[in-house]
């Protein structure tokens, strides 16, 4: 039996992971702002489910609940940083308040979660961190610029953290799902559109979201199960693309990026000291 701490556990992938883990007999610390969706699971699984209600952007509350969770369960094997939301709009359209909310939720709060759990993971001799990112941590779409800023940012943070904490037996997995049936699209925080972007790639993506032609191929249950399987594996990957859309898009942008880099070899080397 393993013990997991999951943020954003009341909906989407976090809720699916919580259901799967409890059904197989594990213990879960489910963290969420809204805990009503967890009531039925709490009644069914009792002490194997600890529900922690707080806003992840409240760093003091986050640290308090993390400390309480590690005190309640002698060991937490896997910490899943899943909470987040999407901001939709061209960079010029979104408000200052929307930018602050996007980065404080998806980036700063995720950073603070990692910082809060690391002393406990070190003290227990190791553990695993699973960051739910997105194909949007490697590829980019028009109208998601601030969302991408948060995902590219947290991936860079964890690439460095993984190197810092490897000597303590702490491992990092970055999951990168593509568009998945989690209600993400209906929960988008949308900026008021500017007409000047109607006939641009931003306008095309806006219409695709509105009329449903923006393809959502990922299955939430299968995606959640794949993340659990990866976190359980003896050898855990650093990154895990999930869904055909994610795999194809990430492969395409990485190949293009590598080709561009290789074409610049002479220029790059010429910048060295003689």
CA angle 7–11–15, rounded 5-degree value: 70
- 92-108 pLDDT, tens digit per residue, is 999 999 999 999 999 99
- Residue 76, in any domain of the structure: yes
- 155-172 pLDDT, tens digit per residue, is 999 999 999 999 999 999
The domain that contains 186 carries what CATH number? Answer: 3.40.50.720
- Residue 255, in any domain of the structure: no
- 194-252 pLDDT, tens digit per residue, is 999 999 999 999 888 887 766 677 789 999 999 999 999 999 999 999 999 999 999 99
Residue 137 buriedness (CB in 10 A; 0-12 / 13-18 / 19+): buried
147 classed as catalytic: yes
- Residue 112, in any domain of the structure: yes
- 4-25 pLDDT, tens digit per residue, is 999 999 999 999 999 999 999 9
Structural domains counted in the chain: 1
User: How sure is the predictor about 153, in pLDDT bands with cuts at 50, 70 and 90?
Assistant: very high
| Residues ≥6 apart with Cβ < 8 Å to 108 | 57
> 210 lies in which domain range?
3-245
- Distance, CA of 88 to CA of 209 (rounded, Å): 10
- Residue 272, in any domain of the structure: no
- Residue 150, in any domain of the structure: yes
In this prediction, residues 166-195 reach a mean pLDDT of 86
- Distance, CA of 247 to CA of 78 (rounded, Å): 25
Residue 182 has a pLDDT of 64
Q: How many CB atoms lie within 10 A of CB 239?
A: 18
Q: Which of 109-113, 186-190, 262-266 is predicted least confidently?
A: 186-190
- Residue 270, in any domain of the structure: no
Token pair 């095309």 in the structure block, residue: 204
| Residue among 85, 147, 197, 269 flagged as catalytic | 147
- Distance, CA of 234 to CA of 19 (rounded, Å): 23
Please tell me the pTM assigned to this model.
0.93
- Residue 269, in any domain of the structure: no
- Residue 164, in any domain of the structure: yes
Q: Quick one: three-class SS letters along the chain? A: CCEEEEECCCCHHHHHHHHHHHHCCCEEEEEECCCHHHHHHHHHHHHHEEEEECCCCCHHHHHHHHHHHHHHCCCCCEEEECCCCCEECCCCCCCHHHHHHHHHHHHHHHHHHHHHHHHHHHHCCCEEEEEECCHHHCCCCCCCHHHHHHHHHHHHHHHHHHHHHHHHCEEEEEEEECCECCCCCCCCEECCCCHHHCCCHHHHHHHHHHHCCCCCCECHHHHHHHHHHHHHCCCCCCEEEECHHHHHHHHHHHHHHHHHHHHCHHHHHHCCCC
Residue 184 has a pLDDT of 57
> What is the chain's length?
274
- Distance, CA of 41 to CA of 10 (rounded, Å): 11
């Amino acid at each position: 039996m393993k013990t997991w701490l999951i943020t954003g556990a009341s909906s989407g992938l976090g809720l699916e992971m919580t259901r799967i883990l409890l059904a197989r007999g594990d213990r879960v610390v489910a963290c969420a702002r809204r805990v009503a969706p967890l009531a039925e699971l709490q009644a069914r699984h009792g002490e194997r489910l600890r529900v922690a209600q707080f806003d992840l952007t409240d760093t003091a509350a986050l640290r308090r609940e993390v400390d309480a969770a590690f005190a309640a369960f002698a060991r937490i094997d896997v910490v899943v940083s899943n909470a987040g939301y999407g901001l939709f709009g061209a960079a010029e359209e979104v408000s200052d308040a929307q930018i602050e909310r996007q980065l404080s939720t998806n980036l700063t709060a995720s950073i603070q979660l990692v910082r809060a759990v690391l002393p406990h993971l070190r003290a227990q001799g190791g553990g695993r961190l699973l960051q739910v990112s997105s194909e949007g941590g490697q590829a980019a779409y028009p109208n998601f610029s601030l969302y991408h800023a948060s995902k590219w940012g947290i991936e860079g943070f964890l690439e460095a953290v993984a190197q810092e904490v490897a000597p303590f037996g702490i491992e990092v997995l970055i999951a990168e799902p593509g568009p998945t049936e989690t209600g993400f699209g209906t929960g988008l925080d949308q900026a008021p559109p500017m007409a000047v972007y109607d006939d641009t790639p931003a306008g095309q993506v806006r219409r695709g979201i509105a009329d449903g032609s923006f393809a959502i191929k990922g299955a939430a249950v299968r995606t959640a199960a794949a993340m659990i399987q990866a976190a359980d594996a003896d050898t855990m990957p650093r990154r895990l693309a999930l869904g055909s859309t994610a795999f194809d898009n990430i492969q395409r942008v990485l190949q293009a990026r590598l080709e561009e880099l290789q074409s610049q070899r002479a220029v790059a080397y010429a910048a060295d000291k003689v």
